[in-house]
Amino acid sequence: MIAIASYIYLSVGGIVGAIMFSIGLLTILNMGFKLFTGSVGYIKSKDDIRDNIIILIGNIIGACGILAFPHAAALSLVASKLTIPLYLVFLKGVVCGIFIYSAVACFKKNKDYMVPVCVTGFILFGGEHCIADLCYALAASTFSIDILLFLIVVTIGNSIGAIIVDRIQ
């Protein structure tokens, strides 16, 4: 679903694309699917760690579905992301983790309207989302050690952002 949302964002862009990106998370939440950035903040045990690793692997496999749909806009987007210093990539990942965890927590409290608000917020802020960024790299049909390092830093940032909000909540 994030691959589909990423493709929509690449096609539409701007504020409308940011709002439309929420289709991915709303579908995941309403269908009971799993998203790493939506579940990583809820880690409380070793079993939760294992489950989140499985979810992350599943999300990576799901993101590969976008390989069938390359997008011209993805190449410039990925190139611009790779110019960001890694410490900022990390911080943007943390912010995204905060937004996505907040969206999921609000959904669990029957405040569905907050999902598009939080998703749009992280995109307009310039946050980095590990699964969406993977989708952009795949849609650009490009992969390198720089992209891998970028994705690892974003994943760590997303995780820390979500965990921080869970712990202070």
How confident is the chain (169 residues) per 10-residue block, as mean pLDDT?
Answer: 94 95 96 96 96 96 88 96 98 98 97 97 97 96 95 98 94
CA 28 to chain CA centroid, nearest Å:
12
Query: How many other β-carbons are positioned within 10 Å of the β-carbon of residue 39?
Result: 20
2-168: CATH class: mainly alpha
pLDDT of residue 142: 86
Write the DSSP symbol of residue 143.
-
Whether 93 and 130 have beta carbons less than 8 Å apart is answered as yes
pLDDT of residue 114: 97
Residue with tokens 């990925």: 78
Residue with tokens 């995941």: 28
pLDDT of residue 81: 98
Residue 57, judged by CB atoms within 10 A of its CB (0-12, 13-18, 19+), counts as exposed
**pTM for the predicted model, two decimal places:** 0.95
Task: State how far the Cα of 36 lies from the Cα of 50, in Å rounded to an integer.
Answer: 12
pLDDT of residue 65: 84
